[in-house]
Amino acid sequence: MAADQVVIVVTMSNDIVTARQAGRDLAEELGFTLTDRTMISTAISEVARNITSYANSGEIRLQVAERDGRRALVVQAKDQGPGIIDIARAMEDGYSTGLGLGLGLPGAKRLMDGMAIESAPGRGTLVEMWKWVPHGA
């Protein structure tokens, strides 16, 4: 992947598939196992689906960057939607403000090595999650 960062604009369900595939491709280039590639692409699906469900549009950014002193595949999901009123509550299993099962954010967090969320009502949301690049890659 020649670019330092890949950006996928997310406005419809087809964009979720595009973002998922881009994440899977980057993970493969970085030497992640098939299991890790599946976990990464599933986590991307969850945060991209939140964009289409709650904010109507946003973007997924993929890059390799340092997190906590280690190389990581970093996924950022950013939107200008309504924001998350209570991030702690949104991270509880089973909690959902929509019609979903409430597995999105907590599920994505379990699939990745780290996650950070910045959000405020009326100011959009930034979800950043990462998975450590395998040693030797």
pTM: 0.91
The model's pLDDT over 33-78, given as tens digits with 9 standing for 90+, comes to 999 999 999 999 999 999 999 899 999 999 999 999 999 999 999 9
What is the reported pLDDT for 63?
A: 97
Per-residue pLDDT tens for 75-116?
999 999 999 988 988 888 776 666 554 468 999 999 999 999
| Count of domains forming the chain | 1
Range of the domain at 114: 5-132
**In the chain, which ranges are E strands?**
5-10, 58-67, 70-79, 114-119, 125-132
What CATH number is attached to the domain comprising 37?
Answer: 3.30.565.10
The answer as to whether 137 is a domain residue is no
Cα(101)–Cα(117) distance, integer angstroms: 20
Crossing angle (nearest 10°) for helices 13-29 and 34-50: 150
pLDDT tens-digit map of 114-128: 999 999 889 999 999
The answer to whether 130 and 111 are in contact (CB under 8 A) is no
66 and 30 in contact (C-beta within 8 Å)? no
